[in-house]
Amino acid sequence: MSKLITYGLGGYDPSKPNNNIVEEIDIPDEEQQ
Residues that bind another protein (CB under 8 A): 2-13, 19, 22, 27, 32-33
CB 12 within 8 A of CB 19: yes
- Shortest distance in whole angstroms from residue 23 CB to another protein: 9
Burial of 21 (0-12, 13-18, 19+ CB in 10 A): middle
Widest pairwise Cα distance in the chain: 35
- Shortest distance in whole angstroms from residue 4 CB to another protein: 5
- Shortest distance in whole angstroms from residue 30 CB to another protein: 14
